Amino acid sequence: MKNRLHYFIYRFFITICLTAIFTRPTYAQSLLLGNRVEIGLNFGPTFFLGDLGGHRGYGTTFVKDLNIPLTKLMKGAFISVSPNEWLGFRLAAQYTYLAGEDKIIATNGRPESFRKGRNLDFRSDVWEAYGAIEFFPLMYLHRGEEDYEPKIRPYIFGGAGLFHFNPQGSLTDQNGNKTWHYLQPLHTEGEGFAEYPERKNYKLTQVNIPVGGGLKYLLTDNINLSGELLYRKTFTDYIDDVSTTYIDYHLFNKYLSAADANIATAISDKSTGVLTRTDPGFQRGNPKNYDAYFSFLLKVGIRIGGGNGDDANAVAHTRCPARF
């Protein structure tokens, strides 16, 4: 039901944006008191940064620990309102897909072998919506200079948002058939169990902090292209359902149904190269770093409000002269 609701919201947002493209600019200008209004679409590759997967050596953050084969596509839409050329306020809604997989890690016999032997994986749809403030530093430095109209405009931005995720892990039977199971209801690390009071059930909808920067290129007065890095800081270590240590698998029978207990027992510990299950308390993840994800986006924007060349000229010819 939640996925259907998010899909409806996303389609509704896209419909509003596309409809606005064909709306007469004077309507949007009147509605937003002459501010520059821009709507658009964006898409590009997204990368997960968490406990699962990674590259050679110790697990690290950001680009060094990426698994390129797990690159996923993000797509979304945005609307921004700018009271002037150096400041903007953005609202955006987007969808992407995140994944991590230990077995694809390339090893050279050093610390990454632990993660590869752990053999866990996950995948998750991710829906997000956020608001952000955009700042164009060069336009700010040249504010008041009417002749300064560069085609390329660097910018930075930051804000706050919400995102929804729901991780799944896989099990493969003896015939090679793979099935996927939602992980949060299985409490794979004892979240919510009385024996682990410090491990609370994690919420599937949480706050994130989007930050980044980019370059905007003005094709015309009303159409532009942007290349953008969008990074999301989160406050959860469970996007991939891995954070702390292995638990006593007998507890699954205490708290879960028989069917779920069987799945949780198998999916919580898929370690390879050992004769028995991993001992309770042994490291499963690294709780010191929250999960994160980032995207490289291509954005196409269309200005529908005030602030185009004709409006600017009209204002210039109607304001009072600087001196008499």
**Domain range list for the chain:** 45-166+204-245+283-298
Could you give the CA distance from residue 19 to residue 24 in angstroms, rounded to a whole number?
10
Instruction: Tell whether the model's pLDDT for residue 12 goes beyond 70.
Output: no
Could you give the CA distance from residue 95 to residue 124 in angstroms, rounded to a whole number?
11
**Mean residue pLDDT across the chain:** 82
**What share of the chain in percent tops pLDDT 90?**
60
CA distances from 290 to 235, 254, 311 (A): 6, 29, 47
Instruction: Tell whether the model's pLDDT for residue 322 goes beyond 50.
Output: no
Over residues 2-19, the mean pLDDT reads: 49
pLDDT (0 to 100) of residue 276: 67
pLDDT (0 to 100) of residue 50: 84
Over residues 308-315, the mean pLDDT reads: 43
φ/ψ of residue 25, rounded to 5? -55, -30
pLDDT (0 to 100) of residue 277: 81
Cα dihedral 137/142/144/148 (nearest 10): -110
Over residues 154-162, the mean pLDDT reads: 97
Quick check: 157 and 213 in contact, CB under 8 A?
A: yes
Residues 180, 182, 187, CA angle at the centre, nearest 5°? 130
Over residues 78-91, the mean pLDDT reads: 95
Over residues 123-138, the mean pLDDT reads: 96
Say whether domain 45-166+204-245+283-298 belongs to CATH 3.30.70. no
Over residues 8-35, the mean pLDDT reads: 48
Residues 75, 78, 80, CA angle at the centre, nearest 5°? 155
Quick check: 59 and 51 in contact, CB under 8 A?
A: yes
Over residues 109-127, the mean pLDDT reads: 82
